[in-house]
Amino acid sequence: MLAINFLNRGKTVDATLSSIEVRVLGALIEKQLSTPDYYPLSLNALMNACNQLSNREPVVSYDEDTVLKALESLRKKSLVRAISGPDMRVPKYAHNMEEFFNLAIQEVAVLCVLMLRGIQTIGEIRGRSARLYEFTDLSEVELTIQGLVERQPQALVVKLARQPGTKESRYSHLLGGMVEVERATQIKEVEFITPSVKSNENERV
């Protein structure tokens, strides 16, 4: 896997994430931006956020142990912190995404929807991020994405080739490395091709 290395506090850190870590981190970001009154999240609340049936691609079914292991890995990478106190019955968890990558709120929103919903067009990103950040128009979304694509020393988003028969470019986050991007692209291409194949088979019948 291609490592995603970042300079954090003067040290080079491998911040390449597994698919489970991406989902856990994305869920924390989403809840912070969409329902701040209920953030940070307990382990149970975070597990439910990861396993939501809506606004998730793919839909998953993680247990608490799976989420806890991902949290521990993210904590070691300085991307998540645990919060406890006398008024808390259980520990709660918060992300450090903005601080770690030095991101603006609109950049966090774009990355969040890409982490939770996979490969998307600019229009899809704008529509799906409405609960997290209100972009004024598509050009603001495009400028935000372009900044993430051209980011130095390490890009956080990549522009993908257009699918056959489509006009819009698609984008993917790079937090899981290029291997994950290529795998997701192949899945999307299969989903795109399958309906026409079935249609041709029906015509022959």
Helices (H), 86-176: 97-101, 105-117, 122-128, 138-149
Query: What digits encode the pLDDT tens for the residues 50-104?
Result: 999 999 999 999 999 999 999 999 999 999 999 998 888 899 999 999 999 999 9
pLDDT at 197 over 50: no
Within the chain, what is the greatest distance between any pair of CA atoms? Answer: 70
Closest CA to 160 of 168, 175, 173, 170: 170
Q: Tell me how many domains the chain contains.
A: 1
CA torsion through residues 135, 127, 148, 57, sign: positive
Tell me the residue range of the domain where 59 lies.
Answer: 5-204
Q: Are 144 and 121 in contact (CB under 8 A)?
A: no
CATH code for position 79: 1.10.10.10
The pLDDT of residue 5 is 56
Q: What is the pTM of this model?
A: 0.84
